[in-house]
Amino acid sequence: MAYPKELRDRFGISQEAFAILLNCNRSHLNMAERGERLLPAGNVSLTLALLQQASTGETITATKPPATFLKRRQATLQAALNILQRDQELLTEKTAQTARLLKAGTALGKAPFADDTANLQWDVLLRKASTRPEKELLKAVKIKLSIAAKTAEINEISNMLAAE
């Protein structure tokens, strides 16, 4: 299936720009052009309509995906959303555990144990815990953004299904 490359060449679109139109990675598009992978089904009709409109100047409305595809996509998104929400709960608990550990580290001091090995392990544990909050904050933001995006797409699909 070399038609993505033919379309790109015909209209002078770079692989990266075409991948943006298809809402996929450039490497995914490259594999599709070599026939190793399929293009994302949801955006192909829209992209073809845009390209046809660009070449002919006429307005073409993209067809709406079938209800079975929308329902399957909605179920997939809901499953991914459930996983993200579980990850968010686990991260919240992990952040609370890290805070408790750092509080205990402050209370006990630098070398609270009689054994040197235990003190070294305690020091390593506290150092690791002190670097964790930044990583956890970044992960929390990423999870929240993913949840918002998936929720918005689920709502959009629900609206499309309700309009039928």
What's the rounded mean pLDDT across residues 142-157? Answer: 89
What's the rounded mean pLDDT across residues 109-130? Answer: 77
A 10 A CB-CB count for 84 gives 20
The per-residue pLDDT for range 44-97, each reduced to its tens digit, is: 666 666 666 666 666 555 567 788 888 888 999 999 999 999 999 998 888 888
Lowest mean pLDDT: which of 21-35, 81-95, 118-132?
A: 118-132
pLDDT for the residue numbered 79: 93
What's the rounded mean pLDDT across residues 17-25? Answer: 80
Contacts for 146 with CB less than 8 Å, ≥ 6 apart? 84
pLDDT for the residue numbered 75: 92
What's the rounded mean pLDDT across residues 121-148? Answer: 81
pLDDT for the residue numbered 89: 92
Task: Tell me the average pLDDT of the chain.
Answer: 79
Helix then strand then coil, in percent of the chain rounded to 5, is 80, 0, 20
